Amino acid sequence: MSDLTSYPKEKINILFLENISDKAVQIFKQNGYTNVKKIAGALSEEELIKEIKNVHLLGIRSKTQITENVLQAATKLQAIGCFCIGVNQVNLKAARKKGVVVFNAPYSNTRSVAELVLGLSIMLIRRIPDKNKAAHEGIWQKEAKGSFEMRGKTLGIIGYGNIGSQLSVMAESLGMKVIFYDTETKLPLGNATACKSLKEVMSNADIISLHVPETAQTKNLINKSNLKYCKKGAILINYARGEVVDLNALAKSLKDQDLSGAAIDVFPWEPEKNGDRFESPLQGLSNVILTPHIGGSTEEAQQNIGEDVSLKLFNYLEKGITNGSHTVPAIVLPPVEGAHRILHIHNNVPGVLGAINTLLSKHNINIVGQYLKTNEDIGYVVLDVDKKLSKKAIDLLREEKETIKVRLLY
């Protein structure tokens, strides 16, 4: 039944930006979608407005900003796939109002990030960056001073979500003690211990690793005031979001030798493309590792993300499934034989479902099955109707004043 979509596949336009994995392209082409365009870099708002006019599905990573202006220009857009962990690059409120489904991949690169954080911890606690720099400069620096083992040390995790909890398990396997703080109550894995405050974690950890989203509450979460809580010689790792750490305050703490090292992968401002100039107050500091937002950038992670998000896009396009959506309410439903399925997205105001049923019943249109789910802004109704009357039903649903989008699925 998935092959019986109402819209010809050769007329569906799919645009993938930012060098999204070829796995995503393959999934659509193997299923008969021929108009798949892939662009290596991100596009500016102006460029994207020109490009998106006839696009039905859009795939992006973290650089492309989906603004309200872009969404207004996207007259045919059905769904956006964020091939990354976050969705903060999309104006979700504007997408919700337009009935555009937004998906992401919250789990696909957790292993890649957790592994790298653990590796960085070992490098920093052994002061490998300093020894590596000296060796490249022709200086032999064979000494144990300031180098330590991971075993017996305390790892403090701030944000005990998908990445933080996986890192927790891996760190324990090296003999570390794990403590964590999260604004939500989380069940500890292994022997990890939950702390009651950020201060409690920062004041007891030898290594502090951040794994929080970018929100108004987490901006400059690590700042001049709370860096003073850190143990002398502690290490700070930020592979979460660029706005979470005040880098000037961190630089001062490192220069004053209050902290012994840091690893930073994300920055408040990042260059648009490879080769662009990059500047940070942390450049040139001892025992500091700076990486260009590559925490989740492994071949395995990108392939997993490519498969995860593209399948979500595919399932919405062909089956109306919205599981994992950040805008349209999540519905997972089986296909129905002997009926046509209509997808109806509308403003969530009282009486819409009743109005739809009244409208269809007045015209003797039989509803075989009906599914409804709402969020604070919109409602998503899936209607299975008599095949002979589906065209009439579509026309009537478009006339309902609260309608945002109507689509005949099959």
Active site residues: 241, 270, 293
Say which residues have a Cβ less than 8 Å from residue 139's Cβ, sequence separation at least 6: none
CA gap 371, 384 in Å, rounded:
9
**CA pseudo-torsion sign 349, 350, 353, 355:** negative
Chain Cα centroid distance, residue 237? 20
Sheet holding 57-60, edge to edge: 36-38, 14-16, 57-60, 79-82, 101-103
Burial of 30 (0-12, 13-18, 19+ CB in 10 A): exposed
DSSP at 90: B
**Beta partners for residue 36, in sequence order:** 14
Q: Residues 242, 212: contact at Cβ < 8 Å?
A: no
β-strand 234-238 against 259-264: which pairing, if any?
Answer: parallel
Query: Computed from CA positions of residues 229, 232, 234, 238, in that sequence, does the dihedral angle turn out positive or negative?
Result: positive
3-state secondary structure of 26: helix
384 exposure class (CB count in 10 Å sphere: 0-12, 13-18, 19+): buried
> Would you say 48 and 5 are in contact if contact means Cβ atoms under 8 Å apart?
no
User: Measured between alpha carbons, how far is 312 from 322 in angstroms, rounded to an integer?
Assistant: 8
Distances (CA, A) of 125 to 142, 156, 167, 171, 249: 15, 14, 17, 14, 21
DSSP 189-220: PTT-EE-SSHHHHHHH-SEEEE-----TTTTT
Q: Which two tokens stand for residue 314?
A: 């595919």
First to last CA, the chain: 8
Q: How far is CA 39 from the centre of its chain?
A: 20
